[in-house]
Copies of this chain bind each other. A is one copy, B any other.
Amino acid sequence: MPIKLILVPLLLIALACPVHAESIVPPAPNGITLPGGYQNWRLISSSYREDNKTLRVILGNDQAVEAALRGQTNPWPDGAILGKLVWKEARHPQWPAALIPGELSHVEFMIRDQEKYADTVGWGFARWLGMDLKPYGADADFARECVACHTPVKDNDYVFTKFSTLPR
């Protein structure tokens, strides 16, 4: 079969498929790829950090939210992913006492897989910086920094976030 008879349909398929921005984001140095569709995940909690002046929203994939609803968060089950969206603070122009999300600082994730990520307390850590989603960390050892920072909450399965209280 002439090569162009193979290439032309492949090209047409490639042109017909929308390129998702996430598919071209480089993986973190430990090989973790950006979880797709995290922008649409459900709410777990939020926070404001006075030390580095950032607003944070913590979302969870379906497995994480279902686990939280069942109270099964110590340990979180395999498959659960927590996503933290972090913005530098800005001040609301019409309500100066309100701090609101300004420039995106980074998005970061904790992916629960006890076996796969046994070397990093059962969590796969990854972070991407800014709107161009630059992977954080020079090499795979960056995750040691994550584990060290999360060690104060070892008794909470290394997770700072608690499921926020809502009538359900």
Interface residues of chain A, those whose CB is within 8 Å of chain B, are 21-22, 39-40, 42-43, 45-51, 55-57, 59, 85, 87, 89, 92, 94-95, 97-101, 103-104, 107, 131-133, 152-153, 156, 160, 162, 164-168
Q: Nearest B residue to A50 by beta-carbon distance?
A: B97
Copies of this chain present in the complex amount to: 2
18 contacts between A and B (CB under 8 A): A21-B167, A40-B42, A43-B43, A43-B59, A43-B85, A46-B101, A47-B92, A47-B98, A49-B95, A49-B98, A50-B98, A50-B99, A57-B57, A92-B160, A98-B160, A103-B165, A104-B165, A132-B167
Knowing A48-B48, A59-B43, A94-B153, say if A133 contacts B101 (CB, 8 Å): no
Q: Nearest B residue to A162 by beta-carbon distance?
A: B100
A43 to B87, CA, bound (A): 14
Q: Nearest B residue to A97 by beta-carbon distance?
A: B51
Partner of A164, one of B48, B95, B98, B101: B101
Q: Nearest B residue to A100 by beta-carbon distance?
A: B47
B95 engages A160 (CB within 8 Å) = yes
Q: What 18 additional pairs, Cβ within 8 angstroms, besides A45-B100, A47-B98, A49-B98?
A: A22-B167, A39-B42, A39-B166, A43-B43, A45-B101, A47-B92, A48-B98, A49-B99, A50-B97, A57-B57, A87-B165, A94-B153, A95-B152, A98-B160, A100-B162, A131-B167, A132-B167, A133-B167
